[in-house]
Amino acid sequence: MVTLIPEASVICARVSHLRAKLPAYQSFSLHMDRMRICLLLFIVVLTVIGEDVCTNEDECANVANTDRYDRFAHYRDLITRGLRNNVDCAAGSCHCYDDQIDRNLRPFEEGIVKDMLPYGGRHVLYQIVDHKLYRSANCTFEARCSGVEHFLLKIVDQLPDVEFFLNDHDYPFISTYAEPKMVVFSFSTVVMLMGATGKDELTKFFLQTKDFLDIMYPAWSFWKGGPAIAPYPTGIGRWDLLRTTLSKEAAMWPWEMKKSKGFFRGSRTNKNRDPLILLSRRRPDLVRAEYTKNQAWKSSQDTLGMKAVKELPFEYNCRFKYLFNSAGVAASFRLRHLFLCRSLVFHIGDEWQEFFYSQLKPWVHYIPVKDDLSNVEELLQFARENDELVKQIADRGYNFIWDHLRMEDVECYWKTLLTRYATLLRFKVVKNPELMHVVGRYTKQKLFARHTAMSQLR
């Protein structure tokens, strides 16, 4: 005997009550309709019961503790599937980002001819000839070129002759649809991600269609430059030093001592950040988000009617469990620093990319947030109610950045990128006499050692 669910019983009873008030011929017709309705409900009940039957012995052990109507079950499922599909880079591997390099170079696999290089444009021309580095004098931001050259000078003895143009501005330049096809290196580019809903949410990083063909290189700010704000008046720079500083700060603020609320402090370089600021004013118990000044700031209207707050060093973020990253005018340099607080990173949007982003997986290393932040409040509630689960995400994010975004990884990326890029050149690189010879501190030390050795031989 099968007992109908309460809703089904009510429906059948109401149909019976109505049948009693009708003439015989209508009553008979309604009786048949009642039979059909009840039969349909019976089938539905059997289907629902069948779906609830546990067939796997290991899974059955946990059924009693699982609420199948839990509003956060979807997020936990995304984490489970993300971990199942994730393959981390091998420890100490120099080739963690080779797939990203392959994707960047694939549009040019038929070869790069001289006409594809933007001579006469605003980009900085670099050449490596006979293991010497040269560049044009038109670098718009000297600190940015210096930050790039730090790594190039360390590997110049290992590189073939090569020639490329480097974009030292924030925006990518080379549209996918531009003709003729041009070749430029940019630190950040825009990737449109396909299949970003439903069960495809976990695989969206692997289904990319690029609006830009710029080849990604590691940003100058790993060594020099970057945003010049009060705590870092000459730019954030020196990733090697900040790694150590942030790791020590994270140890001072273990997970159980962090505040269980979201935190963001930055300038209004992108209005997409506004919903987070407004949520903070409405739900200060949930998130603390405030705007600082930037170069475009004129009045409190530029900070949504509130006074701009002072800028803080990266270490301050480590006091909070949930940290927000959002693109500004391009990909934000903030992201890699947030992970080293060993806090849970909420990454807003995913179109703007740097070279290492593709190895960071949503729900494995961070929590993805919709561009319009329409799901941010629910995600914060999910994090609060699943503390141990999201702590594991925070730990994985920290470990990935600590293990696979070292200075030697940046150096390795440059070496692999330029070595593979050089194989695509369909012209001989001939030294341009108008270029300046770049001799940095690293090279000067080598030259001094060589001069000393030669003097001793005399």
Question: Does a structural domain hold residue 158?
Answer: yes
Q: Bigger pLDDT: 335 or 30? A: 335
The partner residues of 190 in beta bridges, in order of sequence, read 352
Question: Does a structural domain hold residue 375?
Answer: yes
Question: Does a structural domain hold residue 107?
Answer: yes
Containing structural domain, residue 13:
6-50
Residues in the chain: 458
Give the pLDDT confidence of 85-124 residue by residue, as tens digits: 999 888 777 889 999 999 999 999 999 999 999 998 889 9
Is the Cα torsion angle 44, 50, 53, 59 positive or negative in sign? Answer: negative
Question: Does a structural domain hold residue 153?
Answer: yes
Q: Which residues of 404-414 are buried (b: 16+ CB within 10 A; e: fewer)?
A: bbebebbbbbb
Mean pLDDT score, 275-290: 95
Are residues 287 and 358 both part of a single domain? yes
User: Cis link prior to 180 (omega < 30° from 0)?
Assistant: yes
Are residues 317 and 433 both part of a single domain? no
Are residues 446 and 331 both part of a single domain? no
Are residues 355 and 394 both part of a single domain? yes
Structural domain total, the chain: 3
Q: Bigger pLDDT: 143 or 440? A: 143
Question: Does a structural domain hold residue 149?
Answer: yes
State the average pLDDT for the chain.
82
Q: What is the pLDDT, as a whole number, of residue 305?
A: 73
Are residues 201 and 318 both part of a single domain? no
Q: Would you place residue 174 in the very low, low, confident or very high pLDDT band (cuts 50, 70, 90)?
A: confident
Q: Bigger pLDDT: 91 or 55? A: 91
Give the pLDDT confidence of 219-258 residue by residue, as tens digits: 999 999 888 888 898 889 899 999 999 999 999 999 999 9
Residue 311: CATH number of its domain = 3.40.50.2000
Give the pLDDT confidence of 325-349 residue by residue, as tens digits: 998 777 889 999 999 999 999 999 8
Question: Does a structural domain hold residue 230?
Answer: no
Catalytic residue annotation: 170
Are residues 36 and 140 both part of a single domain? no
Give the pLDDT confidence of 123-161 residue by residue, as tens digits: 999 999 999 999 999 899 999 999 999 999 999 999 999
The amino acid present at 180, given as its one-letter code, is: P
Mean pLDDT score, 283-296: 87
Say if residue 200's pLDDT is above 80.
no
Question: Does a structural domain hold residue 85?
Answer: no
Are residues 42 and 149 both part of a single domain? no
Least confident of 201-205, 313-317, 386-390: 201-205
Say if residue 46's pLDDT is above 90.
no
Are residues 43 and 137 both part of a single domain? no
Beta-sheet strand order (sheet of 132-135): 215-216, 185-186, 162-166, 124-129, 132-135, 436-437
Q: What is the pLDDT, as a whole number, of residue 74?
A: 95
Question: Does a structural domain hold residue 40?
Answer: yes
Are residues 253 and 341 both part of a single domain? yes
Are residues 175 and 290 both part of a single domain? no
d(CA 419, CA 195): 33
Tokens 């997970």 correspond to 255
Are residues 260 and 152 both part of a single domain? no
Are residues 287 and 185 both part of a single domain? no
